[in-house]
Structure formats: C-alpha cells, structure tokens
Amino acid sequence: MTEQQLLDLFHQMTLEEKIGQLVQLDGGCFGTDAMAVGPREKLGVTEETVRNCGSVLNVLGAEKVHEIQDHFLAENRLKIPLLFMADVIYGYQTVFPIPLGLGSTWNPKLIREDYKLIAEEACSDGDMVTFSPPADLIRDARWGRCLEMPGEDPVLISHFSKAMVEGFQNTWEKGKSVASCLKHFAGYGAPEAGREYNTVDMSKRRFLQDFLPGYKSAVDAGCELVMTSFNTVDEIPATANKWLMDDILRKEWGFNGVIITDYAAISELKAHGVAADDAEAAKLAINATVDIDMKTSCYANNLADLVARHEIDEAQIDAACYRILTLKNKLGLFEDPYYGCSVEKRDSVICSPEKISAARKTANRSMVLLKNDDILPLKRNKQKIALIGPYADSLDIVGMWAVHADHKHSITIKQAMENVLDNEYFTFTKGCDFLDDYSSLGEFGFIPTIANGKFTPEQSVIEHENALTLAKEADVVVLAMGEHMLQSGESGSRTDITLPEPQKQLLHEIKALGKKIVLVLFNGRPLALTDIIEDCDAVLEAWFPGTAGGLSICDCLFGDYNPSGRLTVSFPYHVGQEPLYYSQFATGRPANGSTHSGRFVSRYLDCPNEALFPFGYGLSYHKAEYSNLTLSQTKISKSADDSIQVSITVTNTSGTSGTETVQLYLRDLVGSVVRPILELKDFKQIYLGAHETQKVTFTITEEMLRFYTKDYTYQSEPGNFKVFVGPNSAELLEADFSLTI
C-alpha cells in the first residue's frame, strides 16, 4: 500500500488497536483448541488484546501460518496482518555450522551467500522476521552462547554481522528474503563470570570501542529490527536504557526500525529492581523507545492507563505503532499476509541439493585443525579405522539452536565414513556416554533429542569393552567427542570447560593402548584441552557443523578438503584464564619485557598468560612461510588520501594447495589512554597452489588508527605504531611506522 494509504489506515486505529501492534504473543494464543486458553490466561492478556495483536513468536510452518493468519484476519477489525517472527539463527531445515564455525571460515562473503539460502528456506515456510544475527562480542568461554557468535574481535564480528543482514534481507528479492533482527543490544556477550543473564559492567570506552561495532555494522547494513538484551548497561537494563536505545541507536546511528525486547524482558525489569510493577516497567520501556513487548502483558495491560494518567504521551505509542506498520507494509503483508509461504514452495526449496552442498562447503571451511602430528590426512582403505565416541553416529551435531533442523537430510560421521571405506577398514562403536549425569542440563535435557539417551549400566560395560577391543584392532582411532549439545547455547554456562569426564577417561584408556588418536571435537565454546592434548595425535575442531557435518568431517579427515578454518576465539589452557582474548590491554607490569623481575609481573603462578591455541590459529595440510614484510613508507599523515601499503610474501613450501588467511594487526605504542597490545585491522584469504608464492598487500589508513581518546573523541593520535602480519595472532612479522601531525 502507498504511504498515504498506510497513514489513512493508521488514523482509523483506536488507542487499543495501536497498543495491540506493540504486543507479541506466541502461537498458543492463536490456536482454536483448548491449548490456546492456557498461554493466554497465564500471560494475563484479554481476548481483545489477542484480536489486536501485532506479531507472533516462533510459529513456523506454511500450513500453520496460513491458518493462524486467516483466523486472525477474520476477527481483526482493520485487517492488519500478524507479523511472524522466529529464531532462524544459522539455518532453517538445512543447518549450517554454528556461528563460531561460520566465523572460523574468515569468509564473510561466503556466509552472506549462505544466509540468502537460509532466508529462502525460512520464508517459504512462513518466516517474515528472523531474530538474527546475534552480534555479541564474546570473550569468556564460560558463557554458553559463545556458540551463537562469530568471535572475540570487533572487526571480524562487524564483517559477519553485516554479511548476515545482507544475506537475510537479500535486497528484498521476493520470496528470498526475511527482515533481520539484530540482537542482543547491547553487551550481552559479557556477563560477569560468564554466567548467563548476569550483570554486564565494563568501562564506557571498552563498550564503545569493542562491543558496539558489531551491532553498528548490522544497523549500517540496514537490519529492520533490533532486539534489546537482558543485561544491564551501566547499571540500567538495556530494555529500559534510554541512552542506549534512543540516544545511541536511534539518534546517533539513525536507526528508524523496530525495537523489540528479548523474551519477557519488560517484566524482568521488576526482578532487576528498577520497576516496582508492570506499569512502571512498561513506562520505562516505552520511554526507551522500545516498540514491541515480547511475551508479557506489560504493554497490553498498562499503556492505555499510562496515557490516561498523562504519565506517557500517546505520541510515543503512535510512533512505535507506525514503525511496526511501516515494516509490515515494507514486507508487503497488506497485499500478501502469508508473505508468499506455501507448502508447495517449501517442499521445492527445503534441503535442496544446492543447499546441502552449500552447507557442506561452508562446514568444510569452518573446521579448524588444531593439531596434526603427521597423521592426517587419513588414508582411505589402507589403514584400519575405528570410529568411537558419542558423536560418532549422532545427528545432534547440528547444535542447540537448530530447532527447525530436518534430520532426514543430516548425515552422521558413521554414515559418511561407511560411504567411503570398505567394511574391513572400518569399525564403529559409541564407547561411552556424553555425560555421567544429565540432570544438570535442566529441563531442556528432557527433550528426547536424538542421541542423549543414557546407557544402562550393562550397555556401558559392553560399549566400553567394545571400544577397547576395536581400538586395539585399529591402526587409527577417530574419536568423535565433545560437549553435550545442550551444554552450550542459551543458559549453557559452565565453569568446567574441559571434555566431559566419561569421554576423557575413554580417550586416556585408548591412548594407554598405544594407539594413534584423531580427536574430532564438537563444542559451542572454546574448550580447555590441556589435559587431553598430549594424548591426541591430531585434533580437528568441528564445532557443531550442521546438516552436512558428517560429510565435511570425512572431507577434512581424508584430505578431500584441506582444512582452512582459523580460530576466532582464544582456547585457554585453563578456565581460570577467562575472560581470555588476544587484544589484551598493555599493563604496567607485562609478563614479558617488564623492568620488574621474577614474581612481580602480571602472570599466573600455575598457567601461562597466553592461549593454548591463539586467536587466528589453525593448521592445514599445506605449509606456508611468511617473509619479507615491507612498507611503502614509514610515515603516514592525517590527510585522507595518505596511506601505507604493507606487503608480505607468502610461500607454500609444500606440494599441497590450500587456503591461507593472512592477518594484519596494529599496535599503538603510546596513547592518551592505555591501548591493546594487538588489534586485528584487516585480513585477506588467498589460495596457494603447490609451491606457489604470492605477495599480499594491505592498506593502512589513518582511519584504522582511530580510537576513543581521553576525552571520548574518536580520533587518531600522532605517534609510533607497530604493524604485524602473519598467519595468526601469535606468529607475526613486525615493522614500525608513525603517524605525523
């Protein structure tokens, strides 16, 4: 409809109808059966609110969307369609790797294309808005939601959040795009001590400098919605934080779209202790320009009274409502309230060969080879391989957020290996349970996921014996092990971030047989691998690789794909190092290079400061040498057209071709505030043929040297800098340059 028609519609709306647009309910409120009474009553909203409601949470399926929308429109006075919003985070029915794995590709362009495919699948089945991308910077491996984010670095996360928004919204190509909702704004990735939903408290400068860029990049890419985070920002919950939502997001960044809360976050303002009751909570949120109340009755039951009491202005509700109507109109819902979804369309696009092969291509690129003592790639039908471990034949390798995964198209490692190995070269058993005790997984643990059933004591004994027998007979043991799928993801915080006990024990026992071990790891966070790494001859970090995960693992293990993934998070020696990230600030007593000696420097008595596997790290089957770091000039001025060309020679010294991710870091040696010891500024991926040499060139501009200075202005400061280039944050060549006035 035209803007004028939309305005005409808006002017016909009553206050109650406008407030209805600001309310999001779940599917239970729209069913026609008795079930519907439950959620509605529990939530405390009236039938009138349901009739005026603006959007639906997490209902997908073309049939259901048609049914609910038809029923709703029949009852709704002005025929304003519902907006269907859902969590489609890293795949709909075809599941791609978890975002930690997507980040490990260091290939945002590839990920943008993948997200176009995800959007097409999701919208064919009724999705109109997706709650993605999550762009929360992660620096603490204890936090379970590390799984959902591309990594610990602001530059990297900015590239990915932009790519994901562009992929989802896909230039609004009809039937191939969904509106993207950036989340969780802001700082959600830094809960104290890594404990889910805990307080976030950090310096304003760090917040602006490190945590906001990932979100800003998604806003600049045009995301249509933003979700508030559960946490506090400067001691004010984000959902009530006017500075964050209105001053920064809307006024400074120019965001005109819809702000929605996270699940029940308005009502949680009471538990936070900043609102005495629902009315006060609703007032705080609407004053912060929050448009949609997800799953509480705070807006529905209080906004009209607040207007009547002149505690808020009706214009605030008008503005929020009009933003939501504008989004509905942009999606064309007034013309097609189903957004083109249909059973036929879904059946023709879901899990198509094109999508499965894209998922495989990306899963290949997401895997990070952490260790390889000349054992990989494995030789097909020349070595006897025993595949052992709870993930060996599990479809749970899609990860916790893949709630819509179509398991019919998933392939386990066992199935994939059976396809490429003759029987006499391949044996398999699970060997052990994921965990000794599943009760800590909480109520989620009772969902009958495919592989989390615990062995009986008798089965445990048999499996254990089988594992040792098969291991003895094998030349190489491939162990498919890791965190239980529900140990990471939302509410998956852990203080023990090592391999779960029963798996660790089995690994040690197999090593004691003198066997070669290749560990394929599944996890949604960096793990502390110190107590098992020596026992492994090779470790392939597979994350949760998705629908094509089994195939991709085979591709990497047998060398059909030369692993190219690089870590975007630091793997610690020990959980006690957390939060651990490569771009630490300089301290007055650095462990290396301090004028103080011995004990009195910034270090642990019992653990290195550094990561076991650093940011940017990953091995391949080829070998690359970096040499000859050259600068076109060693001075740069503040003039916009001045720059330094930094070049480096990368030589593949092996007979295997492969992909290198060349990384550029900077260090500002003296600033008006303390600066990080290393900051990633750029990266380039090159494909090197066997024995090939390539020169890679980066450009340093003055803009790259800017930061929030002492008085919070974002600018560069003249002085000396170091530039570093190399294959990861711990193996770098360096050179000096300066910025002149």
Q: At closest approach, how far in Å is the CB of 544 from ligand NOJ?
A: 17
Element (H, E) at 510: helix 501-512
Report if residue 679 touches ligand NOJ, rule: CB under 6 A: no
Select 147 or 705, whichever has its Cβ closest to ligand NOJ: 147
Per-residue binding string, ligand NOJ, 374-403, x by CB under 6 A, is: ------------------------------
Answer positive or negative: Cα dihedral of 70, 71, 72, 73.
positive
Per-residue binding string, ligand NOJ, 217-256, x by CB under 6 A, is: ----------------------------------------
Report if residue 490 touches ligand NOJ, rule: CB under 6 A: yes
Site for ligand NOJ in 636-675 (CB under 6 A): none
Q: At closest approach, how far in Å is the CB of 741 from ligand NOJ?
A: 46
| DSSP secondary structure letters along 333-398 | TTT-TTTT--HHHHHHHTT-HHHHHHHHHHHHHH-EEEEESS-PSPPTTTS-EEEESTTTT-SGGG
Report if residue 262 touches ligand NOJ, rule: CB under 6 A: yes
Select 292 or 521, whichever has its Cβ closest to ligand NOJ: 292
Report if residue 120 touches ligand NOJ, rule: CB under 6 A: no
Q: At closest approach, how far in Å is the CB of 91 from ligand NOJ?
A: 15
Q: Which of 131, 426, 626, 737 binds ligand NOJ (CB under 6 A)?
A: 131
- What does the alpha-carbon distance between residue 87 and residue 158 come to, in Å, rounded to a whole number? 21
- What does the alpha-carbon distance between residue 212 and residue 32 come to, in Å, rounded to a whole number? 43
Q: At closest approach, how far in Å is the CB of 492 from ligand NOJ?
A: 12
Site for ligand NOJ in 174-213 (CB under 6 A): 183
Select 263 or 444, whichever has its Cβ closest to ligand NOJ: 263
Select 151 or 492, whichever has its Cβ closest to ligand NOJ: 492
Cβ(373)–Cβ(570) below 8 Å: no
CA dihedral 221, 222, 226, 232 (to 10 degrees): 40
Q: Among the residues of 13-133, which ranges form H helices?
A: 15-21, 37-43, 47-52, 62-75, 99-104, 108-124
Point out the residue whose Cβ comes nearest to ligand NOJ. 131
- What does the alpha-carbon distance between residue 634 and residue 680 come to, in Å, rounded to a whole number? 19
Site for ligand NOJ in 34-73 (CB under 6 A): 58
Q: At closest approach, how far in Å is the CB of 731 from ligand NOJ?
A: 36
Answer positive or negative: Cα dihedral of 244, 132, 115, 328.
negative
Q: At closest approach, how far in Å is the CB of 262 from ligand NOJ?
A: 5
Select 178 or 646, whichever has its Cβ closest to ligand NOJ: 178
- What does the alpha-carbon distance between residue 668 and residue 436 come to, in Å, rounded to a whole number? 49
Report how many residues bind ligand NOJ under the rule CB under 6 A. Answer: 7
Select 401 or 571, whichever has its Cβ closest to ligand NOJ: 401
Q: What share of the chain is helix, strand, coil (3-state, %, to 5)?
A: 35, 20, 45
Tell me if residue 278 is catalytic.
no
Element (H, E) at 469: helix 457-473
Q: Which residue has the tokens 């934080």?
A: 241
How far does the chain reach from its first CA to its final CA, in angstroms?
54
Tokens of 122: 């999701």
Q: What angle do CA 14, 16, 19 make, to 5 degrees?
A: 110
Report if residue 263 touches ligand NOJ, rule: CB under 6 A: yes
Q: At closest approach, how far in Å is the CB of 86 from ligand NOJ?
A: 8
Q: Which residue among the candidates 87, 114, 140, 262 is catalytic per the annotation? A: 262
Report if residue 371 touches ligand NOJ, rule: CB under 6 A: no
Task: Enumerate the active-site residues.
Answer: 262
Residues that bind ligand NOJ (CB under 6 A): 58, 87, 131, 183, 262-263, 490
